[in-house]
Structure 1
């Protein structure tokens, strides 16, 4: 039994490392192509007067609204609960008729939100200054807050027993083990994501695959792309196309009330080394289990991915897994963008 488990663990590590090697080669090729393109563009523009030069106007990006107002939402891995607070404040602002509101409801009421943290309450408050005040406020608004909830063992979390959610969100997951070797660090975080995707199955709502609507007569932009392997039907949207509003609404009014299969949303920096985790592939084509006793990972469908715009979420503050750093000078993941990937189970038999 022990030998079988050891061999299986080795095959998982080999599969993840082979996948990582392919990604690194792909990224290097992409970077080389970008450099060549930039050199060509510079050469082409050389000698032209500034009067004849044209500049692309800056693209105004709206935050894709990942929720429906009727959704039951589970947040895992909350640090100081500032994203929870952002959702509460957005709902309160809308209810009060604040700026950015539309004629239709956009945000879910706080009572629809369950927010969890891996730490104990004492550990959370010690690690993240101001967290206690945030937790007090969101609880008062109606949010359910639970501590000591491991996102990789949601099936063992007593506060979640018997509950199903329309959306389960983990923003910026990280194992936080402080591993300096990049390959081992990537492997540790891939195993974290795989465990989460395995454990979340039991709390996802059951139903038909959700249809993600896209704005009518609008071409796909860099901000929202669909799964290259996916076969999800896309429909036109009769919803919000007012670019003065901070959120774009991918759901029609009628779909707000439709019960669909629960989805998982994972947000990461869209730059190395996080891109080397290859979260979409871990979800859609997971490697074999590490041991014979570990259940195989279910397969997911990627519904969409979109930019996560931090400024669109008032009060949101990204916090490191290890908490505040008194003299932190880390530069990992600088540049690029934040991106959210949304998945749902391919086969309901896995749930």
Structure 2
């Protein structure tokens, strides 16, 4: 990609040895340091970080099962608030994902806006999106899918993908909106250093929520970028659990603009500031005669 060895080394150092370690936080709460090691999920009924009154743009959908899952659980009350897109053309989607039709049909019939051939790194090229802004923009398990064997170059290629997405998505994000990216909590994904990538685009991590398909997104069926391959692909989202057993192996990282986060923090601090204690009236004293 024409990058010098020095910049490659710098990127990899930033991606691994000095990688920040965010903690799961309540929506709007602070993020503090914590180990990145997988954790046991004590309560599998984790709150889904979405609401039907939020306008949502989903990019990089494969078989559209995530969109359909949200439609059946959250957006059933307001399907018009969802816009779901794929990078592939409609024809390629059906070729790569045999189950796509079963998910696309209810989306379209319900009034969800569906578009194909949408590049997450250049959303402005899609005419249907021009002039639109969203409360939430979601990109689940992004991957270039180029089969790059060299881990260093694989990391860089995917960092470029996510950086391009951040830059493009910000143009379609409301001032108070969030950008969500779901990733596995294992190498090489942890090497992408997503928190720093967000910071490079003026974003700060707001929350880190466990991604648990069986309880949060019941219709979701994970598919690789290359499509469904019987030799490589698995059913029941086993790809997301591989090597982790019952451990939390995936998270949704929610980012918002740093300046908005700062305003929220300042507003919260003002509300916490105690009112000044009124001074007691000076006691009236008189000399007794």
| TM-score under structure 2 length normalisation | 0.74
What is the Cα deviation at residue 91 of structure 1? 4.0
Determine the structure 1 residue equivalent to 2:210.
Answer: 307
Secondary structure at 1:75's aligned position in 2?
strand
CA deviations on 1:53-74 (whole Å, 9 max, x unpaired) are xxxx982232222112210000
Secondary structure at 1:145's aligned position in 2?
strand
Q: 1:148 to 1:11 in 2, by over 3 A?
A: farther
State how far apart, in whole Å, the 2-side matches of 1:299 and 1:87 are: 28
Q: 1:329 to 1:89 in 2, by over 3 A?
A: closer
State how far apart, in whole Å, the 1-side matches of 2:133 and 2:114 are: 16
What is the Cα deviation at residue 188 of structure 1? 0.8
Aligned partner of 2:11 among 6, 16, 20: 16
Q: 1:283 to 1:203 in 2, by over 3 A?
A: same
Report the more deviating stretch, 71-80 or 334-343.
334-343
| TM-score under structure 1 length normalisation | 0.61
1:85 pairs with 2:68 = yes
| Contact 1:64-1:307 at 8 Å conserved across structures | no
Determine the structure 2 residue equivalent to 1:282.
Answer: 197
Q: 1:10 to 1:158 in 2, by over 3 A?
A: farther
| Contact 2:69-2:219 at 8 Å conserved across structures | yes
Task: Provide the alpha-carbon RMSD of the alignment.
Answer: 2.9
Q: Which runs of 5+ in 2 are unaligned?
A: 22-33, 261-289
1:328 pairs with 2:232 = yes
State how far apart, in whole Å, the 1-side matches of 2:184 and 2:150 are: 19
CA deviations on 1:20-68 (whole Å, 9 max, x unpaired) are 34158x9xxx99xx9xxxxxxxxxxxxxxxxxxxxxx982232222112
| Contact 1:71-1:108 at 8 Å conserved across structures | no
1:91-106 pair list within 5 angstroms: 91=74
1:130-141 pair list within 5 angstroms: 130-141=99-110
State how far apart, in whole Å, the 2-side matches of 1:346 and 1:315 are: 34
| Contact 1:89-1:314 at 8 Å conserved across structures | no
Q: 1:120 to 1:186 in 2, by over 3 A?
A: same
1:118 pairs with 2:87 = yes
Q: 1:181 to 1:60 in 2, by over 3 A?
A: same
State how far apart, in whole Å, the 2-side matches of 1:117 and 1:13 are: 30
Q: 1:166 to 1:75 in 2, by over 3 A?
A: same
Q: 1:108 to 1:198 in 2, by over 3 A?
A: farther
State how far apart, in whole Å, the 2-side matches of 1:195 and 1:11 are: 22
State how far apart, in whole Å, the 2-side matches of 1:282 and 1:309 are: 24
Q: Which runs of 5+ in 1 are unaligned?
A: 35-56, 93-106, 207-260, 287-297
Determine the structure 1 residue equivalent to 2:143.
Answer: 174
Aligned length: 236
Max Rg structure? 2
State how far apart, in whole Å, the 1-side matches of 2:74 and 2:51 are: 12
Secondary structure at 1:71's aligned position in 2?
coil
CA deviations on 1:173-204 (whole Å, 9 max, x unpaired) are 10101001111111111111111011101110
